[in-house]
Amino acid sequence: MKKLSTLSAVVFYMMMNAQYCTPSFQYGADSNMITNVSFGTINNTSSSQSGSTQVYENFTTMSTDLQAGNSYQISVKGPSSTFPSDVVVFIDFNKNGNFDDAGESFNIGRLGAANPFNAMTITGTIAVPSHAASGVTRMRVLKNTNTAAYSDPNAANSIHTACDNGLRAGQAEDYTVNIAGNNVVFPSPYCGAENVNTLTVSEITKVEFAGISRESIIDGNSDVIENFTSTVFNVSRGTSYPITITGGTQGQTTVSAYAYIDLNHNNVFDANEVFNLGYLDNSDPIPGRQSGLTSGTIDIPADATLGETRFRIVKAYESSSWMGTLENRPCPSGWFIGQVEDYTLKVKASNLATSEVVKRSSSRIYPNPTSDSVYVKTDAGLEKYEIYNLTGQKLAEGTSDVINMESLTSGTYLIKIHTRDQKSTTEKVIKK
């Protein structure tokens, strides 16, 4: 356990008398208390004696050091009588005296029903944001029984805030964490090019997304991972955004572009945070360079964590040949031919007025890219389609929901879809 200085004790006293609220429980803590919290240098075992355990225990004289931008494992143990118990940890990262801000709560999991003698333990991860305020701040571990989870393992979490006054049975314990400033080097805490053993940089030159067009140099001398995190793309939950990537291809037809977004802020790019944007089309949009572009759509989930997070674009040559298997991965490794650009994505609450939104219920054209035909799916019914090249010249039109593109040369085209409800949408389609 970390010992505290006199100055720290004064700070803790001030924290104890700050505006932090205390949750309330209908049935107290008997047989539903927290019996151990293990986090960093904190390893605190507390009473499991029914009849004497308080619903709130102040352990703020216990502290552990954390580094901004890093992730830490936390384990919580406790009995849960008849009903399972939810456990949520709150940390006041911006030191404003409450736990109400985005990114300050962590759902650790659910403890199964058990008595104090065979109490279970759950383990989760706390990701400290890179922008967390330095210094000492409050951490709260909150446990509450969930009656709905008795019959429904998928029941919603019963803890909504750190100060709930409608909790059933459980306990809250407060601790102190001391956050050191962020001294990590880009791209940490995310992976870099450390596992690349053979490298050819093939650059991305333009990213167009969410109303922003960001261009970068294409001369063969750029870094394999470029830091553009000062560029912030603003998006809204539950909406979709078109994205176009331009870059060098060296004449290859299997140069892919993927977007990787840390939507849950856990400092890694999980399997469900991957967006396949297709292959660059070799349309030579960059004068004097073998180059191409590809367009796709990024759907922002309705449950994406609010706030800023890492947004990574990877352009990579894919191959299965004498060179081995070359793939597009969020963390480049082995022989890598391509480039990575990191940006910042700021997720906001739903805003249906966003001009970049592509309505999910409007129209969809697939497959994209295509080598022959594409299919049109609309909720309102297709009235007609029109095909344009990138200079705005109309090339064809029709009323079939199967659009034959075999006669067109390889490149990027715009297909305008008119639906029977008098609406229209336009999508970029790549003909391979």
DSSP codes joined into one string, 341-386: EEEEEEEES--TT-TT---TTSEEEESSSBSSEEEEEESS-EEEEE
Q: What is the pLDDT of residue 359?
A: 42
Residue 12 predicted with pLDDT over 50 = no
DSSP 99: S
Q: Which of 19-28, 268-277, 279-288, 295-304 has the lowest mean pLDDT?
A: 19-28
Q: What is the pLDDT of residue 116?
A: 82
Of the pLDDT bands very low, low, confident and very high (cuts 50, 70, 90), residue 303 is: confident
Span 137-153, average pLDDT: 95
Distance from C-alpha of 352 to C-alpha of 350, rounded to nearest angstrom: 6
Q: What is the pLDDT of residue 355?
A: 39
47 exposed, middle or buried (CB, 10 Å; 0-12, 13-18, 19+)? Answer: middle
Distance from C-alpha of 189 to C-alpha of 285, rounded to nearest angstrom: 34
Dihedral of alpha carbons 228, 234, 240, 246, sign: negative
Residue 360 predicted with pLDDT over 50 = no
How far, in Å, are 68, 70, 218, 331 from residue 255 at the CA level?
36, 33, 16, 16
Cβ atoms of 363 and 403 closer than 8 Å: no
Of the pLDDT bands very low, low, confident and very high (cuts 50, 70, 90), residue 11 is: very low
Residue 5 predicted with pLDDT over 50 = no
Higher per-residue pLDDT: 394 or 235: 235
Distance from C-alpha of 157 to C-alpha of 257, rounded to nearest angstrom: 37
Residue 237: what residue type? R
Residue 134 predicted with pLDDT over 90 = no
Whether pTM > 0.75 for this model: the answer is no
Residue 249 predicted with pLDDT over 50 = yes
Of the pLDDT bands very low, low, confident and very high (cuts 50, 70, 90), residue 172 is: very high
Residues 273-290: pLDDT tens digits? 999 999 999 999 999 999
Residues 182-215: pLDDT tens digits? 666 789 889 999 889 999 999 999 999 998 999 9
Q: What is the mean pLDDT of the chain?
A: 87
Distance from C-alpha of 91 to C-alpha of 180, rounded to nearest angstrom: 14
> Domains, the chain, ranges and CATH?
24-180 (2.60.40.10), 196-348 (2.60.40.10), 363-431 (2.60.40.1930)
Residues 382-402: pLDDT tens digits? 889 988 876 667 788 899 999
Pick the closest to residue 172 from 13, 78, 81, 58 (CA basis). 58
**What is the phi-psi region of residue 401: left when phi exceeds 0, alpha when psi lies from -120 to 50, beta otherwise?**
alpha
Top-confidence range, 43-52, 94-103, 194-203, 214-223: 194-203
Q: What is the pLDDT of residue 391?
A: 60
Span 324-336, average pLDDT: 90
